[in-house]
């Protein structure tokens, strides 16, 4: 109705004796008197009703004006206001009481104003839905294939006659195959509402196997019955095609859901391996039960936080630099612990456990005194943000992907160090037969210090990885110390390959159990499994070799 009134405006002014018009609302009269250009439509927006605004916004898009995109986004974001006695339409930016204004028509700066002096141009759910579709229509003109693809997917969420017409017109000129396929899916969704059963049948067959939620939600009602017992879709062929498509979609969703669960399990396993691999070195070589290992992880996480505070404008660089810094900080702390406490307690495991447990409490309190008891948030670098979208049913978060890769890098580097360097040779010699290594001239006390520092440094690196998954707090390490010991014991004390396999296995098992048993019960079941396993194989999956192990 509004578009008709807008078209009547100039004709009525051109006539000498305009025909009498019925009384109309002020907003409609203002819209009818508006010129057929971008500025006229924008001026008519403030006084228009929500339904009239929808028509005005469509007219704004049809003008193909370069300013239309910014106007629509501002209205969608709640930044479009009227200002002053003349009710100029402005876009407001900024936070607080004073906002920077720009004219919505000319784009020029319009000074500043307090939020109290502005009147927001309101929207509702229906209008916001229309806005998102219109913004997507404008994005179809983008040269970027990804932008056009995202625009088509957004338009699929709010298909109407005008949207379908736009998609059909754009399909002819679209060159990218993925965008073409997305448009075909959108048109098939629209064809499901056709009165011709042949058109509906072709649409249902085309949508078979498509994983978008809009497709599933559109096909499922065609397979269901009404309250009176009749089918919502009267044509049996269309109904059968819809049922086949729904089964196909559900089957693929289950498969990709299992893949996603496996990925979450691998990412959890990677975290467990990073947390436990340092403990595997110290526990395996020195036989020390280090209850402060979790606090060494915590120190690494706080190192990442401090680095970002020192380099707030360079989050990515700060995160990368925090890896060697965390290794140094936690490694030096580990050497200090070994030289100051642990070396006096060799051969007395109970005293060592109690001493390191007391040290863990001291470190927690030290962190509370320096950083406060509140959790700290470590920002995620841009390259680790977002998800790798495989398809509509599977997306893998970049931060977890990077942690899986990072774990393997750390593992390979540690294996290379232990297998290809003099320090690694001495560490392996001491772990297999301390007495014989001493007889061959190896200074076992310095090997112990270097080994403890190496294991502690890797714990610090694990803390950097954990800072990208959770908040950093004084109790961060306590959440992983028990899991770390479980991984080490299950894999075999001192065996890095055993630590890798056990960590990944426990992570996957935990995530497979969670959907059925819940997070807490899954951990309990894993613990029960480990207790039963250790009863059968006390030395773990890959027991340590050597005379010390045999004794």
Q: What is d(CA 465, CA 442) in angstroms, rounded to the nearest whole number?
A: 34
The mean pLDDT of the chain is 82
CB within 8 A of 361, min separation 6: which ones? none
Give the Cα-Cα-Cα angle 194, 197, 199 (nearest 5 degrees): 60
Q: What is d(CA 247, CA 416) in angstroms, rounded to the nearest whole number?
A: 49
Whether the per-residue pLDDT at 66 is higher than 80: the answer is no
9: phi then psi, degrees, rounded to nearest 5? -50, -60
76-113 pLDDT, tens digit each: 788 888 887 767 888 888 777 788 888 888 878 878 88
Whether the per-residue pLDDT at 351 is higher than 80: the answer is yes
pLDDT of residue 365: 92
125: phi then psi, degrees, rounded to nearest 5? -60, -45
Which whole number is the average pLDDT over 346-359?
Answer: 86
pLDDT of residue 545: 58
Q: What is d(CA 384, CA 446) in angstroms, rounded to the nearest whole number?
A: 39
Whether the per-residue pLDDT at 464 is higher than 70: the answer is yes
Whether the per-residue pLDDT at 131 is higher than 90: the answer is no
Residue scoring higher pLDDT (371 or 18) = 371
DSSP 385: S
pLDDT of residue 304: 93
Residue 291 corresponds to which tokens in the numbers above? 């209850």
Closest CA relative to residue 266, chosen from 430, 404, 448, 437: 404
251-283 pLDDT, tens digit each: 999 999 999 999 999 998 998 898 888 888 887
Contact 260, 394 (CB under 8 A): yes
Whether the per-residue pLDDT at 542 is higher than 50: the answer is yes
pLDDT of residue 483: 85
pLDDT of residue 143: 81
284-319 pLDDT, tens digit each: 667 778 888 889 999 999 999 999 999 888 899 999
Whether the per-residue pLDDT at 423 is higher than 50: the answer is yes
Which whole number is the average pLDDT over 474-484?
Answer: 85
pLDDT band of residue 547 (cuts 50, 70, 90) is very low
Place of tokens 């509140």: 374
pLDDT of residue 364: 92
Q: Could you tell me the pTM of the whole model?
A: 0.72
């Amino acid at each position: 109705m509004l578009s008709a009134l807008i078209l009547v405006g100039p004709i009525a002014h051109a006539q000498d004796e305009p025909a009498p018009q019925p009384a109309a609302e002020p907003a409609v009269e203002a819209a009818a008197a508006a010129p057929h250009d971008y500025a006229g439509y924008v001026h008519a927006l403030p006084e228009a009703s929500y339904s009239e605004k929808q028509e005005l916004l469509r007219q704004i898009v049809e003008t193909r004006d370069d300013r239309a995109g910014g106007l629509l986004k501002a209205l969608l974001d709640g930044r479009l206001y009227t200002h002053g006695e003349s009710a100029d339409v402005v876009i407001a930016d900024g936070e607080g009481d004073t906002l920077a204004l720009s004219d919505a028509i000319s784009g020029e700066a319009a000074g500043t104003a307090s939020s109290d002096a502005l009147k927001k141009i309101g929207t509702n759910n229906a209008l916001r839905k229309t806005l998102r579709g219109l913004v997507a229509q404008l994005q179809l003109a983008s040269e970027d294939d990804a932008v056009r693809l995202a625009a088509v997917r957004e338009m699929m969420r709010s298909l109407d006659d005008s949207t379908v017409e736009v998609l059909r017109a754009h399909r002819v000129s679209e060159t990218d195959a993925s965008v073409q396929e997305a448009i075909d899916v959108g048109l098939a969704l629209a064809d499901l509402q056709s009165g011709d059963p042949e058109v509906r049948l072709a649409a249902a067959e085309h949508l078979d196997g498509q994983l978008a939620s809009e497709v599933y939600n559109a096909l499922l009602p065609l397979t269901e019955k009404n309250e009176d017992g009749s089918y919502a879709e009267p044509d049996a062929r269309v109904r059968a095609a819809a049922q086949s498509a729904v089964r196909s979609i559900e089957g693929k969703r289950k498969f990709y859901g299992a893949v996603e669960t496996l990925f979450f399990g691998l990412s959890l396993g990677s975290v467990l391996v990073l947390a436990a691999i340092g403990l595997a070195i110290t526990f395996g070589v020195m036989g020390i039960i280090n209850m402060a290992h979790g606090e060494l992880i915590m120190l690494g996480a706080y190192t990442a936080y401090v680095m970002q505070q020192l380099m707030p404008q360079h989050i990515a660089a700060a995160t990368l630099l925090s890896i060697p810094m965390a290794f140094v900080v936690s490694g030096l702390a580990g050497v200090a612990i070994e030289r100051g406490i642990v070396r006096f307690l060799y051969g007395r495991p109970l005293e060592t456990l109690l001493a390191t447990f007391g040290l863990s409490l001291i470190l927690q309190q030290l962190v509370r005194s320096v950083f406060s008891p509140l959790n700290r948030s470590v920002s995620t670098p841009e390259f680790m943000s977002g998800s790798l979208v495989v398809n509509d049913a599977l997306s893998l978060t970049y931060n977890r992907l990077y942690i899986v890769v990072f774990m393997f890098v750390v593992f390979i580097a540690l294996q290379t160090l232990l297998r290809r360097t003099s320090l690694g040779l001495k560490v392996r010699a001491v772990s297999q037969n301390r007495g014989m290594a001493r007889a061959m001239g190896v200074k076992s006390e310095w090997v112990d210090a270097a080994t403890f520092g190496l294991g502690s440094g890797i714990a610090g690196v694990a803390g950097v990885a954990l800072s990208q998954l959770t908040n950093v707090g004084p109790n961060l390490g306590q959440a992983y110390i028990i899991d770390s010991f479980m991984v080490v014991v299950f894999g075999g004390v001192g065996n890095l390959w055993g630590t890798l396999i056990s960590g990944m296995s426990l992570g996957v098992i935990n995530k497979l159990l969670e959907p059925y048993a819940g997070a807490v019960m899954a951990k309990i079941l894993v613990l029960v499994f480990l207790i039963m396993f250790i009863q059968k194989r006390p030395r773990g999956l890959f027991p340590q070799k050597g005379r010390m192990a045999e004794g």
